[in-house]
Amino acid sequence: MKRREFLAGALALGACSPVPSSRAQESVSPEGLAAHARRSGRYFGAAIKSRQLREDPDFTAAIARECDMVVEEYELKRGTTEPKPGKYDFSGADQIIAFAQDHRMRARGHALVWYAAQPPWLEPALKLANSAGRERLMTSYIDVAMPRYAGKISEWDVVNEAIEPNDGRADGMRANSMWMQALGEDYIDIAFHRARETDPRATLFLTDFGLEHDSPRCERRRTAMLKLLDRLMARGVPVDAVGIQGHLKPYKEGFDQARFARFLDDLRGYGLALSVTEFDVADKGGPPNPGKRDGEVAAVAKAFLDVALDNPAMRSILCWGLSDRYSWLSSFKDYKWADGQLSRGLPLDGQMRRKPLWDAIAAAFDAAPPIGRSRA
């Protein structure tokens, strides 16, 4: 489906099931998105930074109102927490987890094993180590981070972004990964088994991006993900759930509800739980009028979330941020506006006001069947 056809279809879907305006919602009820999610047994959350909690009381109040789950945007990535070998700084993550505990929120851990955001000392150490030493260099972080938050972090992104068909491997795996180069695909098995041993109660996620759109790029990535799961399941790797990041780019790639629904059904067929773990909508390339663009973004989001939440294995939706004030989309070169305006791809605008995207998320939760049961 071409981009314009997709947008027209998404807008038509929105017209068929209109959602109330956020201004009207706020005048009637102070309920946040988490309350809408809970009605079907699900959770809503967002990625946050400890600095935001310390320095921005309006943002902190918005998180407390809208969310019942949080994830660290970067403060459990190893490049932040282990700047020198064996020397850890969990102060930022500790503040986020304390906030979650104080507000009776669930927390996710992001991420134990990733090819990026690593401390500069790690890759040279890998190259010098023998096989056993390379494995220890990977699992040592699991051994420290997971026990620290056992009982406080209920689910972990154990391996993040393991596939990349553009790297040229026949199996679609990410070749440009220090872990793949050091240990082969077994690094995934080792990480999940170690995580299961370290915190048996935690839900263990395999997460990746580029699984959403109706495009050749995403189709290759979906195929690679399913083939990887075939191999992992055959080897008895304890993957509990798949995290679909959900970074939508409607002005670059189309979306097909039926195709995405089939993929989610395929994932559910492995007996896995599902979550959308980094949801946002890149609005670069949309109409210059912010109001019109907000409407299109909301319609796209509603089309995507209706499919996601119709799947009985889908347990939560987390945005990568909550307010446009702090969106990574406004600084990333591929998505930022040339004139410096904020990207408008999150539920709240830069002044913490609810936008049509907030309405779309609330309406999708309201229409979702209870978790574990699809629509008739």
Q: What pLDDT digit, counting tens, does each position of 167-214 carry?
A: 999 999 999 999 999 999 999 999 999 999 999 999 999 999 999 999
Residue 145: which of 157, 133, 161, 160 has the closest Cα?
Answer: 157
User: Can you list the residues of the chain whose pLDDT is less than 70?
Assistant: 1-29, 374-376
Percent composition of the chain: helix, strand, coil (DSSP 3-state, to 5): 45, 15, 35
∠ CA 184-197-118 to the nearest 5 degrees? Answer: 50
pTM: 0.93
Per-residue pLDDT, 7: 55
Per-residue pLDDT, 361: 98
Q: Contacts for 233-240 with beta carbons within 8 Å, 24 or more apart?
A: 233/270, 235/189, 237/188, 237/189, 237/192, 237/193, 238/192, 238/193, 238/195, 238/196, 238/204, 239/158, 239/192, 239/204, 239/205, 239/206, 239/272, 240/203, 240/204, 240/205, 240/272, 240/273
Q: What pLDDT digit, counting tens, does each position of 94-123 carry?
A: 999 999 999 999 999 999 999 999 999 999
Q: How many CA atoms lie within 13 A of 47 on its CB side?
A: 23
**How many whole angstroms separate alpha carbon 214 and alpha carbon 307?**
14
Mean pLDDT of the chain: 93
Per-residue pLDDT, 371: 85
